[in-house]
Amino acid sequence: MAALANSLSLSCFALPSSGAASFGAHSQTARLPMQVSAQAFDGQKKTVVDNNAFKDKTLEGLNSLSMHNAESRTPAASVSAVATEVQTSPLERLKTGYLKFKENYVKDQNLVSSLAEGQAPPYMIIACCDSRVDPCTVLNLPPGEAFVLRNIGNMVPAYSAQSACSSAASAIEYAVLHLKVKHLVVMGHSRCGAVKALMGIEDDGSNRFSEFIEDWVLILKNASKKVKSIHKVAPFAEQCTACEKEVVNASLWNCLSYPFVREKMASGDLTLHGGYYDFVSNAFESWTLDLSCLNDVDKVQ
């Protein structure tokens, strides 16, 4: 895997060793909670049935399964009892979560006052929509610290004057020109479904499975082609891991295609970084884009 990681970087990237990662690689202090349930809030449960028709249909299916399963000796009545006991309702979960947040938030009135006047985050973070890798949770960033864009696969499309409705382009423009962030970070992660989809797409499109997803992830098809070319004999799972990091590099490269990003980098007002969070091993890698890349980028515009 070390060889895989080393081959991922563009020529202008310096990938530090895991022990030198600037965001604290392999840190054990910022664990992402893998499961969230009502048990985290006093462990209380209650029986909730919001829709009797849905409940009856569900129980009918469970009872049918229990009758046809020769291994099962569970009476239908027991199955019904289990099926109707559910966790605290979704809205109660959100309300309880907000009250916990509010309890901590109001303790720092200086923060509240400063945020009421506006925002001046030092970071812009482009991360995946994946529920397991919220960047502010992983990096322990409080409100006002990071301007965050999340999309499928933490991907950045290349600059195009015709992309008037690009969510990524508008967010980057606002962060760089108006918020004047000092650091733009593209953060990838392990077990990324978007990257897995990208790696699995057939060249002829014969295995297309969605209306929108393929069109989006294919903006970085060169990343998957590069990984498949370099790591032909590697298992598919290892290829996906390699591509998860290559997608970060490709997105950073696309960030450089925006003229205002290059200008801010050239003046020293903006630095681009890559990050990779492995939530399975709870490790974080980071690297910084070398300013010498600007000369190469200017040549290909």
Instruction: Please state the residue numbers annotated as binding site for Zn(2+).
Output: 128, 130, 189, 192
Binding positions are 128, 130, 189, 192
Calpha distance 153→130 (Å, rounded): 8
